[in-house]
């Protein structure tokens, strides 16, 4: 059906670098009376990635998607098409490993109504946190990561199945490849246990402790293909006590990790985050989100296939 409301479509194209991809995709959008609002492209080690946002005054979503997929198959490219639906709650996927503090904080906030969002699935590198997901009646998928490419392929299929809008890495101890990250530009939120850009990578608390850092904290940021270098959304910090042990620092830091991650999620689902020139800008609050939340917050967890 045609709609008078402006429709936003996000298109991600990934595959081997070759000539003509940008022209072919953009021409297809123009032929369907679309207007390109944003476009970004990159090539890393022969892998091409393009993300664009197009607007339409009215469109046959299924027909447009089928046609674009046919075009991209002919170009040897993989394509993801996602239509923004402002009148429904966003679907948030959570990726975890074994540390429970961030996941527990998110699920408690969701249950109390502090977070107005759907959580249709949780994906874990192991099954440690499956009982926590079961307590909140959220499907949990254990994805073996011995083969990183295979693991990411399965996760991407799950995200597509559950129509996921954005992803939260709640102490997910794996590095995502560009092939994965480019499919969700500025839609993957990570929490890192340091005040970035200091102490990126693993063992951030240990590095800070060994260097005698006096102020330590954590950073919620968008994920890019460059490790722990994505645009910063929110940071929290505390001062190290004289002679404080590494274990004490970790305990205090974990509390702030949950706090910073929740703040970043709230800002995202309220539509208050804009990224340009590699920096996050926080806009004023939007009343529309409150209206959506009041209508939907009491609806039960929405699962695919229900």
With respect to residue 274, please indicate whether it lies within any of the assigned structural domains. yes
Band (105; pLDDT cuts 50, 70, 90): very high
Mean pLDDT, rounded, of the chain: 86
Sign of the Cα pseudo-torsion (165, 273, 14, 171, in order): negative
With respect to residue 306, please indicate whether it lies within any of the assigned structural domains. no
286 Cβ neighbours under 8 A, 6+ residues apart: 270, 271, 272
239-252 pLDDT per residue, tens: 888 887 888 888 88
Q: Look at residue 98 and tell me whether its pLDDT is greater than 60.
A: yes
36-68 pLDDT per residue, tens: 998 988 888 888 989 899 999 888 999 999 999
With respect to residue 301, please indicate whether it lies within any of the assigned structural domains. no
Which residue of the set 40, 60, 147, 228 is catalytic?
228
What one-character-per-residue DSSP string does 146-169 give? SSHHHHHHHHHHHHHHTT--EEEE
Task: Using DSSP, state whether 134 is helix, strand or coil.
Answer: helix
138-196 pLDDT per residue, tens: 999 999 888 888 999 999 999 999 999 999 999 998 989 988 998 898 999 999 888 87
With respect to residue 60, please indicate whether it lies within any of the assigned structural domains. yes
Which of 38, 62, 83 finishes a domain?
A: 83
With respect to residue 2, please indicate whether it lies within any of the assigned structural domains. no
Q: Do 47 and 160 have their domain in common?
A: no
Q: Do 160 and 24 have their domain in common?
A: no
> Omega before 112 cis (within 30°)?
no
Higher pLDDT, residue 61 or 229 = 61
Q: Do 242 and 145 have their domain in common?
A: yes
Which of 20, 54, 83 finishes a domain?
A: 83
Q: Do 169 and 108 have their domain in common?
A: yes
pLDDT of 144 reads 87
Q: Where in the sequence is the domain holding 64, given as residue range(s)?
A: 7-83
CATH, residue 39: 3.30.70.260
Q: Do 23 and 111 have their domain in common?
A: no
With respect to residue 1, please indicate whether it lies within any of the assigned structural domains. no
Domain count, the chain: 2
In the chain, the N- to C-terminal Cα span, in Å, equals 24
Q: What's the pTM value of the predicted model, to 2 decimals?
A: 0.81
Q: Do 77 and 110 have their domain in common?
A: no
Q: Do 117 and 222 have their domain in common?
A: yes
CATH, residue 166: 3.40.50.170
CB atoms < 10 A from the CB of 28, how many? 18
Q: Do 68 and 148 have their domain in common?
A: no
Asked if residue 203 lies in contact with residue 194, where contact means CB atoms within 8 angstroms, the answer is no
Concerning whether 78 is annotated as a catalytic residue, the answer is no
pLDDT of 304 reads 39
Q: Do 98 and 48 have their domain in common?
A: no
Q: Look at residue 290 and tell me whether its pLDDT is greater than 70.
A: no
Q: Look at residue 256 and tell me whether its pLDDT is greater than 60.
A: yes
Band (260; pLDDT cuts 50, 70, 90): very high
With respect to residue 202, please indicate whether it lies within any of the assigned structural domains. yes
Measured N-to-C along each axis, helices 246-269 and 101-112 cross at an angle, to the nearest 10 degrees, of 40
Q: Do 276 and 181 have their domain in common?
A: yes
68-84 pLDDT per residue, tens: 999 999 999 999 898 88
Q: How far is CA 10 from CA 73, 82, 160, in A?
A: 18, 5, 14
Which of 33, 62, 83 finishes a domain?
A: 83
Q: Do 107 and 232 have their domain in common?
A: yes
With respect to residue 70, please indicate whether it lies within any of the assigned structural domains. yes
Q: Do 199 and 114 have their domain in common?
A: yes
61 Cβ neighbours under 8 A, 6+ residues apart: 7, 9, 83
Higher pLDDT, residue 72 or 206 = 72
Q: In what order do the strands lie in the sheet with 232-239?
A: 140-142, 118-124, 91-96, 166-169, 188-192, 215-222, 232-239
Q: Look at residue 302 and tell me whether its pLDDT is greater than 70.
A: no
Asked if residue 198 lies in contact with residue 235, where contact means CB atoms within 8 angstroms, the answer is no
């Amino acid at each position: 059906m045609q709609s008078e409301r402006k429709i936003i479509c996000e298109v991600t194209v990934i595959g081997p670098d070759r000539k003509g991809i940008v022209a072919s995709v953009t021409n297809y959008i123009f032929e369907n009376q679309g207007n390109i609002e944003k476009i970004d492209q990159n090539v890393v080690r022969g892998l091409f990635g393009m993300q664009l946002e197009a607007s339409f005054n009215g469109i046959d979503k299924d027909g447009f998607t089928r046609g674009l997929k046919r075009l991209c198959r002919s170009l040897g490219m993989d394509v993801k098409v996602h239509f923004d639906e402002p009148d429904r709650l966003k679907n948030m996927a959570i990726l975890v490993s074994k540390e429970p503090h961030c996941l527990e904080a998110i699920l408690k906030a969701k249950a109390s109504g502090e977070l107005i969002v759907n959580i249709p699935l949780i994906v874990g590198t192991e099954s440690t946190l499956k009982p926590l997901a079961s307590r909140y009646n959220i499907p949990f998928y254990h994805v073996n990561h011995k083969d990183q490419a295979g693991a990411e392929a399965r996760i991407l299929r799950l995200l597509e199945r559950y129509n996921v809008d954005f992803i939260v890495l709640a102490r997910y101890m794996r590095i995502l490849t560009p092939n994965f990250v480019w499919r969700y530009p500025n839609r993957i939120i990570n929490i890192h246990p340091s005040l970035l850009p200091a102490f990126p990578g693993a063992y951030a608390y240990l590095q800070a402790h060994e260097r005698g850092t006096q102020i330590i904290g954590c950073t919620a940021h968008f994920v890019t293909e460059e490790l722990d270098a994505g645009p910063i959304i929110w940071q929290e910090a505390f001062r190290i006590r004289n002679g404080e042990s590494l274990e004490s620092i970790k305990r205090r830091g974990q509390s702030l990790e949950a706090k910073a991650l929740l703040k970043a999620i709230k800002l995202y689902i309220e539509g208050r985050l804009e990224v340009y020139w590699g920096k996050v800008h926080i806009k004023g609050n939007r009343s529309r989100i409150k209206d959506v939340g009041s209508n939907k917050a009491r609806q039960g967890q929405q699962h695919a296939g229900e």
